[in-house]
Amino acid sequence: MQLEFENNLMVDQFLEIVQSSDISSLKEFLDDQNISDVSKLVDEYPEYEQQIIEHLSIHRAASTFKILDLPTQKRVMRDLPPSKIAELLNALPPDDRTDFFEGLPSSIVRELIKLLTPEERKITLSLFGYPENTVGRLMTPDYVYVFENNTVNEVLDIIRRIGKNSETIDVIYVINDKGELLDDIRIREFILNPLSKKVSDLMDERRVIALNAYDDQEKAYEAFKMNNRVALPVVSNSNKLLGIVTIDDVLWVASEEFKEDIQKMGGAEALDEPYLDISLWRLIQKRAGWLIALFLSEMLTASAMQHYQETGIFLKFADLIIFIPLITSSGGNSGSQASSLIIQAMALGEVSIKDWWRVMRRELMSGFSLGLLLGCIGFIRVVSWQMLHIADYGQHWGLMATIIFFALIGVIMWGSFIGSMLPIILKKLKQDPATSSAPFVATLVDVTGIVIYCTVAIVVLRNIL
């Protein structure tokens, strides 16, 4: 309660200052807040995001900017004056700057790189030289290194001189004249030992834990998990020290991997941008592949049921029973996809209860498109089997294909609607949206899917029946 009261007080104070247009008070207020609190202000008041970043001191602006999501970063960069953009880009850590550039079109990246100083431009281009999702993209060249013949006193002088520009000084790296990594020594060793002692005397024989620049980023996560470090060195194939990777970057990688795993568990490809920012076409592409695969897999069930079918189930149109698992499972798969995506988006703050209309509209449109796609496949399946004499669906096989087509559109639209709305409804009722998991949604859609299927069949066959 106390923390909530303090947050509300901070927000009220911020709104009062920003609406008064008192620039000096705004700068003073923002520089007194924690970076996490400033980022929350940016998220909650997007109409003031440009003013917030512009009036922060440059290093605090860079620290705030790098923890914002990509769409917010894009908006901030679009609204800032060119001089502030250049200042902010040059103040960003190289790894965070490279990560930001990765989410932009190449034409924009080319223009932004021109704003960098020659030194920062060289660093950025070198990081872009590593393949995507490798450790090289995560590393920063801002670290402290010394030589084995340095004394403790010389090392401390080096730390004082360049340590303020380093990502971390918890660990000091020892290299030779060729730039090869020899050892990494914690800073406490230099503080606790005599000033005259040499670095070589502090080195031990243990193997240095290092990452290769071309390693997969997941390997970095595993290395940090197994070793109690805030940073790990990154070396080339010839063991030359190239940079370091810090724990905050690795935690970000772990978070991204977790998001992908959750989305894959829902039967969809991982989204590479926030749910509400990805285009409808890209959203359909991400989901269509798995949904088609699951649909084609369910065709095997329909074929098995066809083989063991008993006559007299639907009287004149007994063959319709064959496609019940196909229809209902497709609706369940669609609902599971929608549910997983919305739960994940809500957990990340990309979707809130007030976005329900946008979500519903997008899901109905994507559900219709996906239903149309699978409906065509189902229609072609019935027609092909009939024409190739693989199966005989009777004289009204054309009507049967039509029923499958429209039933799939209806069931998949319904599955997408239920799967997307159920988490939001549960959130509104102050329940955990995760309870609307894929099996729950699939079961619900299975039951209603049979109703939709039978209703479509009755409407299409009403004159014959």
Task: Give per-residue pLDDT as tens, 363-373.
Answer: 999 989 998 99
Which fold does the domain 145-246 belong to in CATH? CBS-domain (3.10.580)
pLDDT in tens, 163-185: 777 777 888 899 888 888 999 88
Q: Which two three-digit tokens encode residue 36?
A: 């996490």
User: What is the residue extent of each domain of the chain?
Assistant: 2-129, 145-246, 266-460
- DSSP three-state, residue 145: strand
Superfamily, domain 266-460: SLC41 divalent cation transporters, integral membrane domain (1.10.357.20)
**Domain 2-129, what architecture?**
Alpha Horseshoe (1.25)
Give the model's pLDDT for residue 308.
40
Could you report the per-residue pLDDT of 28-71, keeping only the tens digit for each?
888 888 888 888 888 888 888 888 888 888 888 888 888 888 78
Residue ranges in 321-355 assigned as alpha helix (H): 324-347
Q: What is the pLDDT of residues 184-241, one digit of tens each?
A: 888 888 888 999 999 888 888 778 888 888 888 878 877 887 777 788 888 888 888 8
Distance separating alpha carbons of residues 286 and 272, to the nearest angstrom = 10
Q: Which two tokens stand for residue 395?
A: 């004289």
The Cα angle at residue 447 between residues 292 and 369, in degrees rounded to 5: 35
Expressed in percent and rounded to 5, the helix, strand and coil fractions of the chain are 70, 5, 25
Burial of 386 (0-12, 13-18, 19+ CB in 10 A): middle
Q: Using the predicted structure, report yes or no on whether residue 315 has a pLDDT greater than 80.
A: no
CB contact set of 23 (below 8 Å; sequence gap of 6+): 55
Token output for 108? 């924009």
Q: Say if residues 405 and 375 touch (Cβ distance below 8 Å).
A: yes
Three-state DSSP at 143 gives coil
